[in-house]
Amino acid sequence: MDAMGTESKRRAMRKFTAEQRERAVAESLQPGATVRAVAQRHGVRPNLLSYWRRQLQAIAVTAQVADGAARFAAVAVAARTSDVADDRGVIEIDLQRHCVRVRGVVDGAMLREVLAATR
């Protein structure tokens, strides 16, 4: 009950251990599993399970980079198209959710800045 004697519809926040979160995330990543179904089995809302998935993915990527693990990207060389009018060229990188296209002279530092902005 609140200060005015009426019942509140808010639920008490439940605390989940790291192991519980990891177990739910691992289950949600299995082939054929849906976030909604896994969340329901674990008694959480689907958006909370999605948040946990993003958190654990970010932690894994950070650990991979910190370990110095080499990461490679597939590279394809395409024939020059007519929309490139000069000799400076184009770098096009297809990422999972978007495409980065850089035209002109590109140095490594600038390309790192552009790719960091896509994360």
Tens digit of each residue's pLDDT (9 = 90 or more) over 58-70: 887 777 666 665 5
- Tell me 63's DSSP state: H
The pairing of strands 90-94 and 99-103 is antiparallel
Tens digit of each residue's pLDDT (9 = 90 or more) over 10-51: 666 778 898 999 999 999 989 999 999 999 999 999 999 999
Amino acid identity, residue 55? Q
Reference 27, options 15, 40, 12, 14; nearest CA is 40
pLDDT at residue 91 in the model:
77
Reference 29, options 10, 49, 14; nearest CA is 49
- Tell me 97's DSSP state: S
| CA–CA distance, 43 with 36 (Å, rounded to integer) | 10
